[in-house]
Amino acid sequence: MKLARILALTCGIALIISIAAPHLKRIFADTKPAVQLTVKNAQPREVEDVTQNAVQRDYTLAWQALSTALANNNLKPLNDNFTGFALDKFTQRVKDQKQQGLTTRVIDNGHKVDAIFYSPDGSAIELKDTASIETQVLDGGKVIHSDKSQVHYYAIMTGAEDRWKVRVLESSAE
């Protein structure tokens, strides 16, 4: 009798976990990623404190937007945070995903970001990002690929009307 109770309880817990896990993953995917930005290596201009805070805030928002866009095949978050080549590229990716019935879940475990270039006129900044990311590609609701790795990204952000927008975001093996 006791064994049966324990078995039933275990099954119940397993059922709850299996139902809750995908939702929890989605919730965590939509939360803001942790971004640490250092600016001491920026050249040729020194990054002002205000700019540092704004870039950190907007780069964080850009990653959050990218995750949301790829997870839901929705272009709106991209338009708010990306511009130029990066916007063209990710827009095409979302359109292709939609066409093929795929989605991508990005589980973001944080970014260590170094500002490596800040233009003399203060209009553009280049970041080197070491991102800890888990990528899951889903076909319908089924995961067809999953990997967890550290990826290097190079990003160029430029000042827009009320925020910094990502103009280039490129991953690199080196």
Q: Give contact residues for other proteins (rule: CB under 8 A).
A: 44, 85, 88-90, 92-93, 96-97, 99-100, 102, 104, 116-117, 119-121, 123-124, 126, 128, 135, 137, 139, 144-145, 147, 149, 151, 154, 156, 168-174
Q: How far is the CB of 5 from other proteins (least distance, A)?
A: 28
Distance CA 102, CA 62 (A): 21
C-beta of 60 vs 118, nearer to other proteins: 118
Q: How far is the CB of 29 from other proteins (least distance, A)?
A: 17
What residues pair up with 172 in beta bridges, in sequence order? 152
Please name which of 133, 136, 174 lies closest in space to residue 150, comparing C-alpha atoms: 133
C-beta of 64 vs 136, nearer to other proteins: 136
C-beta of 23 vs 140, nearer to other proteins: 140
Please name which of 51, 75, 88, 73 lies closest in space to residue 163, comparing C-alpha atoms: 51
Phi, psi of 65 (to 5 degrees): -65, -40
C-beta of 57 vs 128, nearer to other proteins: 128
> What distance lies between CA 32 and its chain's CA centroid?
8
Q: How far is the CB of 146 from other proteins (least distance, A)?
A: 8
Q: How far is the CB of 70 from other proteins (least distance, A)?
A: 10
Q: What is the dihedral of CA 39, 43, 49, 54, to 10 degrees?
A: -80
